[in-house]
Amino acid sequence: MNRKHATALLLAASMTAQGNAGGVPLARWSLDQQSGKQATETVSGRQDPVNYVFNQARFKPDSPPLWRGAASCVVNGCLLFDGYSTDIAAPSLSTGQLGQGFTLSAWVAPHAFEWGDGGHYSAFLSQFDAGAKQGFSFGMYRFGTWGIKLGLGSEIADVRVRERKLPRDSWSHVAASYDPARRLVSLYLNGERLVHVALPAGGEFAMPSVPLTIGRYSQPERIGGVFKLNTFLGLMDEVRIDAGPSDGAAIGRMVADDLAAHGGKAPRLSVAEVSIPASVFDGDLHRPQYHVLPDAGWMNEPHAPFYFQGQYHLFFQKNPFGPFWHQIHWGHWVSQDMVHWRELPIALAPEDDGLASDGVWSGSATQAADGTPVLFFTAGNDQARPNQRTGMATPADVNDPDLVRWTKYPRPVTLQPEGEGRFGEFRDPYVFRHADRWFQLVGSSLPGRSGTALVFESTDLRNWSARGPLFSIDAKGFAGLDATWELPVLLPIGKGKDGRERHVFLMDVRAQAYYWIGVFDPASARFTPDSEAPRVFDLGQGHFSGPSGFVDPKTGRSIVFSIAQGERSLQDEYDAGWAHNGGLPITLSLGDDGDLRLAPIGELASLRGQTLLDLRDVTPEAASSALAGLRGDALEIELVLAPGAAKGKRGLSLRAAPARQEYTELYFDSTQQRLEIDRRRSSLARSYGVQGGAFALGDDTLRMRVFLDRSMVEAYVNERKSLTSRIYATRRDADGLGLLAEPGDRVVSLKVWAMRGTAKGN
């Protein structure tokens, strides 16, 4: 198969390998160090640098690469490659050293598989120049296929194992042998020869003058000029380069010798051994402590919440390869209270199944007629038109209390019908049950109108009938609302004054959540909003996004989850090692005025530690004096303030450094009738501006509940509006508090609690 000057040649496996019984060692990295920033090349005794993002950390104290001890590794110690920043740089090998052939080998335990950008391997070993067609790249490709590319000057030979894929989170021994005299390449898995390949007659193998790299392809594709792709994610041990080809007997002896201390079997790996440990992020200036977030890397919206046999489950969009958007998987958390979450192994991953081979994008959860949870997801497949369909998955073992493994239904359950919405815009299924049937909402748009949610109906969750758009609006007066409405959610919130049940319909457009309140009619599958105009859900201008929700069967509450977007550059996120976190779970209900009421769930009170302040009926001056003695970056603050007649700003000063070199102000401005956060002095690095939106307090007392969690700030005001934002302080002593008030005001109450962290990795 020709691909970008590559020739893949697979010959019959019955061909007999010939070669040396074992070559001369050229280089070996045992990776036994278990500490430090260098890897010993044991043949020469040379110390090669291990590149790693936290060797020189920006936002936390330095920490060494992710070494593992003997219990996790095949021989003594090994190294965890984080998938984006970790590699080992070594001097070039010459054509003279490898001209008589060579054998490459390593023990690998991949944690996930890259997309294969540029047609390149995620390399175990690479010294390759694609332009000159020289060198080798030995590594993995999509879905666990693996092999070697050899540059022959006139072309590139790509020899690959496609059927015997590498398993995730398990040790495998891989070896590649090249015999130039016979022009043969052989590939071995755990000592067994799988492929024996004859190269083309023309061309000669030669090595380029580029460094040898362990854990990354020599010429990786890049994202934004910052993130290097084609990088190995997982554990690696006993990396070897031998001069001369090897045969199966020699490879078999090598494998047996390495496994002798383990009784002939490689160690089994736990989740912790292939995950980034909590201690890596100790001292991070911005990483939240009690908001839910993954062990490391990039996340987008949480979704598909459900409750089953005593535990809440919540999934999320995850790139396990680093803090950037790419190769989307479903991460998985469980909790007993929706506050203290525990991360489980990846639930759904792109696979070579013709269903979701290019991404498992957002979705939802429901329960089958027998109560079994069922996941629905956007199945990304770039070979299909459109490339977005609805897929379904069910638990592999319903008796597993954590529901760790999920089985995908083998075909899409919903395809976009011709003429239903803008073709190719068909994603984020939200499925809910009504009586003996299920409804599915899928985000799309209607040309000439607005975005919408397309409705489908089913009696068995596998066969769905199109019911048309849920509703739409004339978007001419509402900028941006003609785009696809992503992440649709429909939840009951109580009865209106007319006695009819009201639902809230939530959706997301370009990272901003909007909502309507209205009546859903299951007979017509239509939603009639009480008013056509959309309302902004959160006033943080793009920080609260990606809504998902469910009705909690324990309490009957309608609960919404969200992603708290970041506001950092790609370089900042590279240097941090993580990007984004979940917002706090919030309950939704209907107010007497027919508008939405929202509040953090009551279970969050379990995070309260020491009460730092408890004032009642005091002057603003007394409250300011008491606040001046408090410091903290993981707090909950409740302020109830009776405003006087004067116009102005009332609220809190957060993350204030001495002499106010840095500070952030969160307030209601009665002059402008706005709820705002002023971040122009939040950071010495840059101004983050002022965010907010219209808010009318009227004659009410100001009731402000604020959750501060390092870079996170969430404010809930009179249960009528929320404001989610970020504070990226640069000073570690930017942790002071202050009060904003006007003459004639009275502080009815002011409470401050220190908040406990919730999860490993925080």
Query: What is the secondary structure of 404-428 as a DSSP string?
Result: --EEE-SS-SB-PPTTSSSTT--EE
- Give CA–CA dist 226/488, Å, rounded: 33
CATH architecture of the domain with residue range 606-755: Sandwich (2.60)
Query: Phi and psi for 692 in degrees, rounded to 5?
Result: 160, -165
H-helix or E-strand spanning residue 721? strand 721-726
- Give CA–CA dist 347/407, Å, rounded: 9
- The SS3 of residue 502 is strand
> What pLDDT does residue 201 have?
85
The mean pLDDT value of the chain amounts to: 95
Residues 35-60: pLDDT tens digits?
Answer: 999 999 999 999 999 999 999 999 99
3 pLDDT tier (thresholds 50, 70, 90): very low
> What pLDDT does residue 16 have?
29
Residue 485, pLDDT above cutoff 60: yes
- Give CA–CA dist 321/329, Å, rounded: 10
> What pLDDT does residue 23 have?
74
- Strand ranges across the sheet with 664-669: 690-694, 674-678, 664-669, 649-656, 736-740
Same-fold call for 2-9+21-261 versus 606-755: yes
- Give CA–CA dist 241/665, Å, rounded: 59
Torsion over CA: 483, 484, 489, 494 (sign): positive
Q: Please give the average per-residue pLDDT across 430-459, as a whole number.
A: 97
The gap between the terminal CA atoms of the chain, to the nearest Å, is 47
Residue with tokens 């996941």: 375
Determine contact, residues 337/328, Cβ cutoff 8 Å. no
Residues 607-657: pLDDT tens digits?
Answer: 999 999 999 999 999 999 999 999 999 999 999 999 999 999 999 999 999
> What pLDDT does residue 12 have?
28
Residues 369-385: pLDDT tens digits?
Answer: 999 999 999 999 999 99
Range with the lowest mean pLDDT among 6-10, 125-129, 641-645?
A: 6-10
Range with the lowest mean pLDDT among 200-209, 373-382, 495-504?
A: 200-209
Closest CA to 685 of 228, 285, 293: 285
> What pLDDT does residue 316 have?
98
User: Which amino acid is it at 276?
Assistant: I
Residue 601, pLDDT above cutoff 80: yes
- Indicate the pairing of strand 712-717 with strand 649-656: unpaired
Residue with tokens 């110390």: 47
- Give CA–CA dist 130/136, Å, rounded: 9
**Cα distances (angstroms) measured from residue 515 to each of 488, 508, 537, 757:** 10, 9, 6, 32
Two structure tokens written together for 537: 């859900």
Residue 423, pLDDT above cutoff 90: yes
Q: Please give the average per-residue pLDDT across 7-34, as a whole number.
A: 59
SS3 of 34-74: the string is: CCCCEEEECCCCEEEEEECHHHHCCCCCCCCCEEECCCCCC
- Indicate the pairing of strand 437-445 with strand 451-458: antiparallel
How buried is 481 (Cβ within 10 angstroms: 0-12 exposed, 13-18 middle, 19+ buried)?
A: buried
Query: Nearest 5 degrees, angle CA 130-CA 39-CA 20?
Result: 65
Query: Phi and psi for 602 in degrees, rounded to 5?
Result: -65, -25
Per-residue DSSP letter, 660: G
Closest CA to 528 of 538, 516, 514, 541: 516
Residues 730-752: pLDDT tens digits?
Answer: 999 999 999 999 999 999 999 99
0.75 exceeded by the pTM?
yes
- Give CA–CA dist 89/66, Å, rounded: 16
Q: Please give the average per-residue pLDDT across 510-519, as a whole number.
A: 96
- Give CA–CA dist 323/261, Å, rounded: 37
- Give CA–CA dist 563/93, Å, rounded: 47
Determine contact, residues 412/389, Cβ cutoff 8 Å. yes
Closest CA to 505 of 479, 486, 480, 483: 486
Residues 221-251: pLDDT tens digits?
Answer: 999 999 999 999 999 999 999 999 999 999 9
Residue 494, pLDDT above cutoff 60: yes
- Give CA–CA dist 457/451, Å, rounded: 20
CATH architecture of the domain with residue range 2-9+21-261: Sandwich (2.60)
- Indicate the pairing of strand 578-579 with strand 465-469: unpaired
- Give CA–CA dist 333/311, Å, rounded: 10
386 preceded by a cis bond (ω within 30 of 0): yes
Q: Percent of the chain, pLDDT > 70?
A: 97
22 pLDDT tier (thresholds 50, 70, 90): low
> What single string gives the DSSP state of each residue in 264-304?
TSPPP--TGGGS--GGGGTT-SS--SSS---SSEEEEEEEE
Beta bridge partners of residue 657, listed in sequence order: none
Beta bridge partners of residue 723, listed in sequence order: 715
CATH 1.10.1060.10 fits 301-600, yes or no: no
Per-residue DSSP letter, 246: B
- Give CA–CA dist 424/728, Å, rounded: 38
> What pLDDT does residue 200 have?
86
H-helix or E-strand spanning residue 635? strand 634-642
Q: Please give the average per-residue pLDDT across 520-547, as a whole number.
A: 96
Per-residue DSSP letter, 645: S
Closest CA to 758 of 276, 337, 403: 337
Please, how many CA atoms are within 13 Å of residue 504, restricted to the half-sphere of its CB? 29
> Where are the chain's structural domains?
2-9+21-261, 301-600, 606-755
Determine contact, residues 702/643, Cβ cutoff 8 Å. yes
H-helix or E-strand spanning residue 573? helix 570-576
What's CA 1's distance to the chain center, in Å?
A: 34
- Give CA–CA dist 353/363, Å, rounded: 19
Residues 542-581: pLDDT tens digits?
Answer: 999 999 999 999 999 999 999 999 999 999 999 999 999 9
> What pLDDT does residue 492 have?
98
> What single string gives the DSSP state of each residue in 127-151?
EEETTTTEEEEEEE-GGG-EEEEEE
Q: Please give the average per-residue pLDDT across 522-535, as a whole number.
A: 97
Two structure tokens written together for 697: 């307090």
Two structure tokens written together for 384: 């299909």
Q: Please give the average per-residue pLDDT across 162-172, as a whole number.
A: 97
Residue 14, pLDDT above cutoff 70: no
- Give CA–CA dist 547/386, Å, rounded: 24
How buried is 309 (Cβ within 10 angstroms: 0-12 exposed, 13-18 middle, 19+ buried)?
A: exposed
Alpha helix (H) residue ranges in 202-281: 248-259
